[in-house]
């Protein structure tokens, strides 16, 4: 595999891992509910299911999450890209971002923070630990429930996220997801033998 041997430049340490999921995180409740865009998020553990989000302490939502210990990670689609961007540049201190973007809320099943109705997947989270790292604090959270759009559940009961039209964020730009290149384990999967045609 010599076709992709790159000549490299070495830079000082920085965060450049891409692409990332630009999620809409809801927090607070009732009239104090807010939504912010978080791309610094991901999976920490599967058993038990643990995720994280990293938020700057000066953000309005930081105090809401710290106070309630709860939030919801909402996965947006391509149609919500403008709302994702607006929720990342506007502050909930002086803007009703739900009214600004047209995002509608639904009650969650396990937490006080609302779900976003237009997002096909909503992940209800309860904070288990807060780690101060510097510019951001990391909220480690247990996943209490996952809400998935019925039309994304296939006939085998599998969540077919490839149908959702989710988006990615890479180095300041939003992207739609491209073609499927493979599936987990495809590199070691044995090829099926085709039966020889009988004469």
- Kindly list the domain boundaries of the chain, sorted by start residue: 23-176
pTM tops 0.85, yes or no: yes
pLDDT at position 190, please? 81
Query: Which pLDDT score is estimated for 15?
Result: 81
pLDDT of the residue at 1: 53
**CA distances to 123, 155, 191 from 34, in Å:** 16, 35, 50
List, in sequence order, every beta strand (DSSP E) within the chain: 23-27, 34-38, 41-45, 50-55, 70-75, 105-106, 115-116, 121-132, 137-148, 167-170, 173-176
pLDDT one-digit tens code per residue, 88-140? 999 999 999 999 999 999 999 999 999 999 999 999 999 999 999 999 999 99
Tell me the fold of 23-176. Pnp Oxidase; Chain A (2.30.110)
């Amino acid at each position: 595999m010599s076709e992709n041997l790159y000549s490299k430049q070495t830079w000082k340490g920085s965060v450049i891992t891409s692409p990332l999921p630009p999620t809409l995180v809801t927090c607070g409740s009732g009239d104090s509910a807010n939504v912010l865009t978080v791309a610094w998020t991901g999976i920490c553990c599967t058993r038990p299911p643990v995720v994280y989000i990293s938020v700057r302490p000066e953000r309005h939502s930081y105090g809401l999450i710290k106070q309630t210990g709860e939030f919801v990670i909402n996965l947006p689609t391509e149609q919500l890209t403008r709302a994702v961007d607006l929720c990342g540049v506007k502050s909930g201190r002086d803007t009703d971002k739900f009214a600004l973007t047209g995002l509608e809320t639904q009650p969650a099943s396990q937490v006080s923070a609302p779900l976003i109705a237009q997002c096909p997947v909503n992940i209800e989270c309860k904070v288990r630990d807060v780690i101060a790292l510097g510019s951001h604090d990391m909220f480690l959270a247990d996943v209490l429930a996952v809400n998935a759009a019925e039309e994304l559940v296939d006939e085998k009961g599998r969540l077919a996220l490839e149908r959702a039209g989710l988006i990615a964020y890479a180095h300041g730009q939003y992207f739609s997801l491209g073609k499927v290149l493979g599936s987990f384990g495809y590199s070691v999967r044995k090829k099926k033998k085709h039966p020889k045609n009988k004469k």
